[in-house]
């Protein structure tokens, strides 16, 4: 067999022990054989990665998670007490301490999930919370479950839990559809949405706030879309009612990160005035540029270069060259499914080596201005702000990172993001009309978040 075929056969698991020994001898004696091995293994690894990521979301659960088929799911509640009795011997306080897998439910391995802000490898476990306690479970496929005690249930798989008692709020993002909650009164299957469930004994109340869920009660399927609610008592339901109340359920944390907020990949000068509308970079004399003066964009094709402290070249009265971009927080609310409570800006700064007179300082600000509840209007009156600055080194090959955070009040509609270079060393006008020797910012991104919220019931 040719070496390529032998390596392929090994990676397909179809070599005999003798053939593996022969391959070992060849790999030990020849660096070319080893190079060939990695070449072929690289193709296998690429195929593994591509098809697994292709099979679901980028954070695919099929890689590390045991998959459950729907038939097993539908029979779950019947098995659950038996499985719990056989497998769960843990005390109340041992949250998610691995228990032996329940027969017929989890075949092998475990799965990664975040509990109490720690990512952990979990296996099927009992799930209990006392009254007054609340916790959040986050799976790598993005499913977030807010749990509010008293809770009595079982975590079975990344897409399956049982709930005998308790109130939960669930967010299932696109790509992770199929998250299922099995209760004594019925089975709730998500199709990409936000919903809440309240279970107590033989009573089940399910409410969908966005998207669609199916509730299966005694063999009858109730499809709930948009905003709707359903009550089940003793496996009987009077039907789906319009409307739902998200406030009555705990709400999981939510995060949204911008992509390409401040990439500056299209060359050109920025609009020279205060921004008049959201989603537009504008400000003092500055431009998006490709690599220049020995400075390469940190990522992508471009970066922002600060040129002057006013909107036209030539002036040297002020000491800061500022650019702004406005964010409509209503758009962020749509992404998060709720109001953003916190925002964190990250950005990267760089400059040319310059001389002893070269300025070194950058400044960033997240702010709210007065007024502007419906449409954005620039106002000089800042009602809240969070600011930070950074002194850059003289090495144009390295980028320095800066972060700044702001707690967002519920009354704020528009967030104003500011980036600037500061004349902290010399406020002199160079002959070319450019006040900064070569000062750049790249990869400005925002991360919005909202914390775990208790029900308002």
Partner 1 sequence: MADPQSPESLKHVSQVQGLFVKHSSQIRGFLISLLPGSVEVDDLLQETFLTITAKAENFELGTNFTAWAMTIARFKVKEHFRKSQKSELLLGDEVMETLLEDAPEVLADDTQILALKKCLKNLSPSVQKMLTQRYEDDMKPEKIAADVGWGANSVYVALSRARSTLRECIIKQTKGALASTSLS
Helix 31-54 / helix 17-29 crossing angle, nearest 10 deg: 120
Least distance to partner 1, CB of residue 70, Å = 16
The answer to the question of residue 110 lying near partner 1 (CB under 8 A) is yes
Least distance to partner 1, CB of residue 11, Å = 5
389 versus 400: smaller Cβ distance to partner 1: 400
Binding mask 1-30 for partner 1 (x = CB under 8 A): ---xx--xxxxxxxxxx--x--xx--xx--
Q: How many residues at the interface with partner 1, by CB under 8 A?
A: 56
416 neighbors 326 (Cβ within 8 angstroms): yes
Question: Assign residue 282 a region: left if phi > 0, alpha if psi is -120 to 50, beta otherwise?
Answer: beta
91 neighbors 134 (Cβ within 8 angstroms): no
Out of 22, 77, 90, 114, the only residue in the binding site for partner 1 (CB under 8 A) is 114
Query: Dihedral, CA atoms, 67, 69, 75, 79, nearest 10 degrees?
Result: -20
335 phi/psi in degrees, rounded to 5:
-70, -40
40 versus 429: smaller Cβ distance to partner 1: 40
114 versus 339: smaller Cβ distance to partner 1: 114
Q: Which residues lie below 8 Å from residue 96, measured CB to CB, with a gap of 6+?
A: 115, 120, 122, 125, 127, 155
Out of 105, 137, 140, 418, the only residue in the binding site for partner 1 (CB under 8 A) is 140
429 neighbors 435 (Cβ within 8 angstroms): yes
Q: Interface with partner 1 by CB under 8 A: which range of 90-98, 112-120, 185-193, 410-418?
A: 112-120
Q: What is the DSSP string of 60-99?
A: -STTTSPP--HHHHHTHHHHHHHHHHHH----TT-TT---
Least distance to partner 1, CB of residue 27, Å = 5
Binding mask 29-68 for partner 1 (x = CB under 8 A): --x--xx-xxxxxxxxxxxxxxxxxxx--xxx--xx----
The answer to the question of residue 70 lying near partner 1 (CB under 8 A) is no
Contact set for partner 1, span 399-438 (CB under 8 A): 401
The three-state secondary structure class of 185 is: coil
248 phi/psi in degrees, rounded to 5:
-80, 0
Q: Write out the residues near partner 1 by the rule CB under 8 A.
A: 4-5, 8-17, 20, 23-24, 27-28, 31, 34-35, 37-55, 58-60, 63-64, 108-110, 112, 114, 117-119, 121, 140, 348, 401
């Amino acid at each position: 067999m040719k070496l390529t075929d032998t390596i392929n056969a090994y990676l397909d698991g179809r070599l005999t022990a003798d053939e593996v020994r022969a391959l070992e001898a060849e790999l030990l004696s020849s660096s070319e054989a080893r190079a060939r091995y990695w070449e072929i293994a690289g193709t296998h690894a690429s195929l593994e990665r591509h098809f697994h990521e292709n099979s679901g979301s980028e954070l695919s659960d099929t890689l590390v998670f045991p998959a459950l088929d729907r038939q097993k799911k539908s029979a779950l509640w019947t098995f659950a007490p038996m499985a719990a009795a056989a497998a769960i011997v843990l005390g109340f306080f041992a949250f998610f301490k691995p228990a032996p897998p329940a027969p017929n439910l989890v075949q092998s391995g475990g799965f990664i999930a975040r509990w109490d802000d720690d990512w952990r490898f979990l296996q099927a476990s009992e799930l209990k919370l006392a009254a007054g306690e609340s916790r959040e479970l986050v799976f790598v496929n993005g499913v977030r479950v807010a749990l509010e005690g008293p809770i009595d249930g079982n975590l079975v798989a990344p897409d399956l839990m049982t709930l005998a008692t308790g109130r939960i709020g669930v967010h299932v993002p696109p790509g992770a559809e199929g998250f299922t909650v099995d209760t004594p009164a019925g089975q709730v299957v998500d199709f990409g949405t936000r919903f809440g469930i309240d279970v107590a004994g033989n009573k089940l109340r399910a409410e969908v706030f966005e998207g669609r869920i199916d509730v299966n009660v005694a063999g009858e399927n109730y499809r709930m879309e948009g905003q709707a609610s359903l009550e089940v008592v003793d496996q009987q339901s009077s039907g789906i009612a319009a409307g739902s109340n998200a406030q009555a359920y705990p709400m999981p944390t939510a995060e949204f990160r911008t992509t390409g907020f401040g990439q500056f990949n299209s060359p050109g000068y920025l609009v020279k005035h205060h921004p008049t509308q959201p989603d537009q970079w504008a400000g003092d004399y500055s431009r998006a540029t490709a690599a220049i003066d020995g400075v390469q964009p940190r990522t992508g094709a471009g970066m922002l270069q600060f040129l002057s402290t006013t909107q036209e070249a030539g002036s040297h009265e002020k000491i800061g060259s500022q650019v702004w971009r406005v964010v409509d927080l209503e758009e962020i609310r749509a992404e998060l499914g709720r109001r953003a409570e916190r925002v964190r800006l990250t950005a990267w700064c760089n400059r040319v080596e310059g001389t002893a007179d070269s300025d070194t300082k950058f400044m960033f600000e997240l702010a709210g201005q007065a007024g502007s509840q419906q449409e954005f209007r620039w106002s000089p009156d800042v009602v809240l702000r969070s600011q930070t600055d950074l002194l850059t080194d003289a090495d144009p090959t390295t980028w320095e990172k800066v972060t700044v955070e702001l707690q967002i009040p519920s009354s704020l509609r528009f967030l104003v993001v500011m980036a600037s270079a500061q004349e902290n060393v010399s406020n002199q006008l160079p002959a070319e009309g450019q006040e900064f020797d070569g000062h750049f910012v790249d990869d400005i991104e925002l991360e919005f978040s909202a914390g775990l919220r208790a029900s308002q019931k």
